[in-house]
A and B are shown apart, each in its own frame.
Chain A
Amino acid sequence: MNPVIPAPVPVPLPAPPWLLEFLLVFTFVLHVLAMDFLLGGVIIVSVSSFLGRHDSGRHELTRRVSRALPPVTAFTITLGVAPLLFVQLLYGQLFYTSSDLMAWYWLAVVFLVMLGYYGVYWYQMQHDELGARAAWVMLATAILFMLVAFIFTQNITTMLHPQDFYRLFLSGQVGTILGSVTSLNIARLAHFVVAAVALAGLGIALLSARWRTDSPELARWGRRYGVTWFMGGTVVQFLVGLWFLFSLPVEIRQSLVGDKLAVGLLVLGIFLALLGLLTAPKSLLASSVAILGAVSAMGVLRHLVRLAYLRPYFDPNSLPVRGQWVVFSIFVVLLLAGLATVGWMLYVFYRPAARRA
C-alpha cells in the first residue's frame, strides 16, 4: 500500500532548501548544546544533591550550578524554537501528522517544560530553605525533562516513518497514538541523555573555573568532579552510540556506508569525541573545542540519517521556491546586531569594574 502522506503547502518555500537545511542543522546544534547543559545539569545536580546532603562541597556546588540553570532553560527553549520552525517548513507534512497522532502527548510537552522550568527556579531560589527536599525537587525536574526528551524522540522518529502513518491512524484514536517504543527509539533517547550528562559535566568543569577567586578549593574540586562526569559519560556514549548505530535499519546503515560524507562525519565525530576525552584532564579549552566539533559533526550526520529515511517518500528539493531575500537580509542584519547587543550586555555584566559593591 502506498504511504499516506499529506500534501505539502502550495505556498512556495521562502528560500532554497539548502539554506533552510543549513539553518535547521545549525540552530539544532545550538539548541542541543543548551539542552545538554540543562538536562545533564539537572541530572547531575539531582544526583549530587542526594549524595551531598552531608557533604558541604557538593552542597555548595549544586547551589552554584543551579544558579546557571534558569538562563540555560530559557535559552534551551528559545534556541529550540528555531530548528522546530525550519523542520515545520521543510518537513511539515510529516511532522504535523506524527504530532497529531500523538497530540495529547505532544501538547503535554508544553506543561512538562513549564513545570520543569518552575522546578529549576524553585530549587535555585529556595536551595537552602528546601533542605533535604531540594534533592527531590531536582529529581522531579529531571523526570519532567526526561519525559519531554522521550516524547520528542517518539515524535521526531515517528515522522521519519510515513509508511507507518496510516497503520498508526487505524490503530487507535487520533491524539493518543504515541507510536511503538522500539529499541531504536530507546537507543536514540539514551544517546541524547548520555550526551547531555557528559556535556553538562564539561560545562560544570568550565563553570567552576569562575569560582577560583572566591573559593579556589571548590573550583579545583568542581573541575575534577565535572571532568569525571564528562569522561564517564563519554565512555558510556561510545557504547550507546554503537547500540544506536546498530539499531538503525540495515538499509539506512547501508545507505550511510555508501555516502562518503556520512562516513567521514561519523569518523570525525568519534575521533573528536575521543580527542575531547583524552584532553579533558589537561586542557578544558582543547576538550571543549573538540566536543563542539563532535556535536556539530553528529548534528550534520543526524540530518543525513533523516534524509536517508525520507528519500523514498519526499525530497524538499521538489518543492517550489520563491526567495524572500529582502526580509531574509533584514533577519541577518538584525541577528548580527542582536548578537552584538547580547555580547555587549554580557561584557558589562561580567567585567569586574562594573561591580557596584
Chain B
Amino acid sequence: MNYPVWEPFMLGGGLVIGIIAILHVFVSHFAVGGGLFLTLTERKAYRENNPALLEYVKSHSKFFVLVVLVFGAVSGVGIWWSIALVNPEATATLIHVFVWGWAIEWVFFIVEIAAAFIYYYGWDRLDPKTHLLVGWIYFGAAWASLLVINGILTFMLTPGSWIKTQTFASAYFNPGMLPSLVVRTAVCIALAGVYALITSSAVADAGLRSQVVGYAAKWLLAGTLIIPFAGIWYISTVPAMAREISMGGAPAVTIFAGLSIFFSALVMAFTYFGPHQRPRHFNMVFAFLLAVLALSTTAVTEWVREAVRKPYIIYGYMYSNGMRLADVERTRELGLLKSARWVRHHEVDPQALGRSGEEVYRVQCASCHTVDGYNSIRFAVKGWSWAMIDYQLAHLNSLKGFMPAFVGTEAERQALGAWLASLNPVPTNIATEPASSAVSSQATDAAEEGPSQP
C-alpha cells in the first residue's frame, strides 16, 4: 500500500522469494554443518594417521568453497533482495528492529569468509594444529551467524512480547527462537552428511570410498534423528492457528506438512539401508537422488513454515500484504485507494468499476496472488458470481482463516468483486449482483466490462 506493487507475472512474489530461499537454505545449512564436518573429519584423519582420508577432506573443501562461498553467500543476499522487492514494508520493519542483529551477523560473515579462504588455501601453508583451529573458527562463526538469523526468522511467526514492548531483546529472544535453533542445527548436521555423500561417492579408491560413505551416512542419520524431537518442541511454540492450518485447517498446507514428514522418513530409511548398511554399493546416482530428496524435504518444510504464518507476515502485527493491524481501522474509514500511494485513481470510478477493482486487487491481494499463475485469483473465483464473491470478500477472514480481512470501503469491495467476477464466465441462474450494493446502479456498467457477464 505504501510501495509500488511488483507483480512477477506467473510466479508471484511469494514464489520468487520461495525459490531463492529454499535453494539458499539448502546450501547455507551445509555452510554451517559442512564446516563442522570438515574440521572433525580432518581431526579424525590426523588421529588415525590416515593420509587418504586427509586427501578426501582437501578435495571436499574445494567443493565446499565453491558451493558455499559463491552460491550460499550470493543467494543469501538474493533473499534480502527479493523480500525487499516483494514486501518492502515488512523488510523495513525487520531492519528497524534488528539492524544491530544483522550488523553482528555481518561480523560473523566476515570472520567466516576469511576463515574459509584461509582454511582452503592453507592446506599446504599451515601446520595441522593451526589449520584445524582455523576450521573451528570457521564453524564457530558460521554457527553464530545461524544463531543470529534464526532469531530474526522465528520473530516473524512468534514475535512474542515485542508487540507490546518493542525492544530488541523481546524480539530476538522470542518463543520460537530456541527450538528452531535446535532444529536448524540438526538440519546443518544432516546436510553435511548429504553433501559429503556426494563427494565421497566420487572417491576412486573403493576402500576409502566405503569408509567415508559409511561415515557420512552417520552424520545424516544423527541429524535426522534429532529433527523430529526438536520439531515437536518447535511446533509447541507456534500460535494455535498456525498449528491448525498445518493439521487439517488448510488442505494444501496439511499435505505439504505430511510430505515433509514423509520425505524426512524416506531420507532416514534410504540412508540407513543404503550408505549406512551397504556403503560399498553406494554410488553418485544414489547420492544425487538422496540430495534431491533432501532438497524436497527442505522445500516442503520451508513452504509450510511460511504458509502457517498466514494471514500475517509478522504475526499479530502486519498482514502478508504489508498492512499493519494498527492501520486497518483508519484505512477502512478513509478508503483503501485514498490511503494507497501507488494507484492511478484514488476513488472508485462508478463508470469503470472493473478498473478500480483491479487497482484494489493490486494493492491488497497481489503480494500473495497472481492473476493466472501461482495462487491464481482467476482460478480461485472460477464459477463464482459477483454476489458470491462479494459475500466472500465481506467475510474473508472468517471464511478463510489464512487470509486477512478485506480492508476498504464497501464501494471498493464491490469494485474488487466486479473485477474478480469479470475474470471468468459467470454461471447462469445465479444472482449476479451483491444483495445490497453501494454501487448497484453501476452494476450494469461493471458487467459490461467483464468478458462474459450475463
Q: Which of B66, B101, B114, B326 has the most CB of A within 10 A?
A: B114
B48 on the A face (CB < 8 A) = no
Contact of A338 among B99, B108, B118, B168 (CB under 8 A): B108
Q: Does A250 contact B (CB under 8 A)?
A: no
- Contact call A85/B103, Cβ cutoff below 8 A: yes
Given A89-B99, A175-B7, A341-B137, also A14-B168 (CB < 8 A): yes
Q: Give the contacting residue for A75; candidates B3, B81, B102, B113; CB below 8 A.
A: B113
Any chain B CB within 8 A of the CB of A77? Answer: yes
Closest A residue, CB atoms, query B342: A169
Any A CB within 8 A of the CB of B106: yes
- Say yes or no for A345: interface residue by CB 8 A criterion: yes
When distances are taken between beta carbons in the complex, the residues of chain B under 8 Å from A101 are 4
Contact of B5 among A11, A174, A326, A346 (CB under 8 A): A174
Interface size on B, residues (CB 8 A): 67
A78-B109, A328-B100 as given contacts; A356 in contact with B124, CB under 8 Å = yes
What residue in chain A is nearest B69 (Cβ atoms)? Answer: A74
Query: Contact between B99 and A85 (Cβ–Cβ < 8 Å)?
Result: yes
Q: How far is the CB of A8 from chain B (nearest CB, A)?
A: 8
Determine whether A221 belongs to the interface, using a CB cutoff of 8 Å to chain B: no
A174 contact from B7, B96, B134, B168, Cβ within 8 A = B7
User: Is B93 at the interface (CB under 8 A from chain A)?
Assistant: yes
Which segment, of A91-99, A188-196, A299-307, faces chain B? Answer: A91-99
**CB atoms of A89 and B4 under 8 A apart:** no
State the CA gap A331–B104 with chains docked (Å). Answer: 5
Judged by a CB distance under 8 angstroms, whether A132 is at the interface is: no
Is there an interface contact between B95 and A174, defined as CB atoms closer than 8 Å? no
Complex CA–CA separation, A141 to B101 (angstroms): 33
Interface residues of B in 98-151 (CB under 8 A from A): 99-104, 106-111, 113-115, 117-118, 121-122, 124-127, 130, 134, 137, 141
The answer to whether the Cβ of A131 comes within 8 Å of any Cβ in the partner chain is no
* Contact, CB under 8 Å: B4 / A348: no
A263 within 8 A of B: no
Q: CB distance A14 to B4 under 8 Å?
A: no
Which residue of chain A has the shortest Cβ distance to B79 in the bound complex? A110
A51: chain B residues at CB < 8 Å are none
**Segment at the interface with B among A111-119, A203-211, A226-234, A241-249:** A111-119
**Does A81 sit at the interface, judged by CB under 8 A?**
yes
Given the interface pairs A11-B96, A78-B113, A110-B77, the reply to whether A346 lies near B118 with Cβ below 8 Å is yes
A354 part of interface (Cβ distance < 8 Å): yes
Residues of A within 8 Å of B7, CB to CB, are 174-175
Contact B6 A174 (CB under 8 A): yes
Report the Cα distance A12→B95, complex, angstroms. 11
Q: Cβ of B164 < 8 Å from any Cβ of A?
A: no
Q: Which residues of A contact B108 (CB under 8 A)?
A: 334, 338
Interface 9-mer from B84-92, B220-228, B296-304, B440-448 = B84-92
Q: How far is the CB of A273 from chain B (nearest CB, A)?
A: 28
Shortest Cβ distance from B112 into A: residue = A78
Pick the residue among B77, B100, B117, B324 that contacts A324 (CB under 8 A).
B100
| B 343-356 to A, binary, CB cutoff 8 A, 1 in contact else 0 | 01000000000000
Is the CB–CB distance between B4 and A174 below 8 Å? yes
Contact indicator B2/A82 (Cβ below 8 Å) = no
Instruction: Determine which of B77, B101, B107, B126 lies in contact with A356 in the assembled complex, contact meaning CB atoms within 8 Å.
Output: B126
Bound-complex Cα distance A348 to B141 (A): 18
| Cα(A5)–Cα(B88), bound, Å | 13
Given the interface contacts A11-B97, A106-B81, A327-B100, does A6 sit within 8 Å of B341 by beta carbon? yes
| A contact residues around B74 at 8 Å (CB) | 77, 110, 113-114, 117
Q: Is the CB of B113 within 8 A of A74?
A: yes
Q: What's the least CB distance linking A52 to chain B, in Å?
A: 25
- Asked if B88 and A74 sit within 8 Å, CB to CB, the answer is no
Q: Is the CB of B85 within 8 A of A338?
A: no
Instruction: Name which residue of chain B comes closest to A324, CB basis.
Output: B168
Partner of B73, one of A11, A78, A339, A348: A78
Q: Is B8 an interface residue (CB 8 A)?
A: yes
Judge whether B16 is part of the interface by a CB distance below 8 angstroms.
yes
| CB of A22 within 8 Å of the partner chain | no
Q: Is A170 positioned at the interface, with any CB of B under 8 Å from its CB?
A: yes
Selected contact of B4 from candidates A70, A78, A82, A97, CB within 8 Å:
A97
Q: How far is the CB of B130 from chain A (nearest CB, A)?
A: 5
Check if A147 is an interface residue, CB within 8 A of chain B: no
B166 touches A (CB below 8 Å): yes
Task: Give the residue among B71, B82, B101, B341 with the most A Cβ atoms within 10 A.
Answer: B341
Contact at B73–A74, with CB atoms within 8 Å?
yes
Q: Cβ of A11: which chain B residues have Cβ within 8 Å of it?
A: 93, 96-97, 166
Q: In whole angstroms, how far apart are the Cα atoms of A92 and B87 in the complex? A: 12
Interface string of B158-175 (1 = CB under 8 A from A): 000000001111000000
Which B residues lie within 8 Å of A78 (CB)?
73, 106, 109-110, 113
CA distance A334 to B112 in the complex (A): 13
Tell me whether A121 and B93 are in contact in the complex, defined as CB-CB below 8 angstroms, given that A85-B103, A327-B101, A356-B127 are known contacts: no
- With A75-B113, A175-B7 known, 14 other A-B pairs at CB within 8 A are A6-B2, A11-B96, A14-B100, A85-B106, A88-B95, A96-B88, A101-B4, A114-B75, A121-B70, A169-B342, A175-B8, A326-B168, A341-B115, A345-B114
Could you show 14 A-B contacts with beta carbons less than 8 Å apart?
A6-B88, A9-B89, A14-B99, A15-B100, A71-B113, A85-B103, A88-B95, A89-B96, A97-B88, A103-B85, A324-B167, A341-B111, A356-B124, A356-B125
Question: What are the 7 closest A-B residue pairs judged by CB atoms, nearest first?
Answer: A96-B88, A110-B78, A11-B96, A103-B6, A6-B2, A338-B107, A327-B100
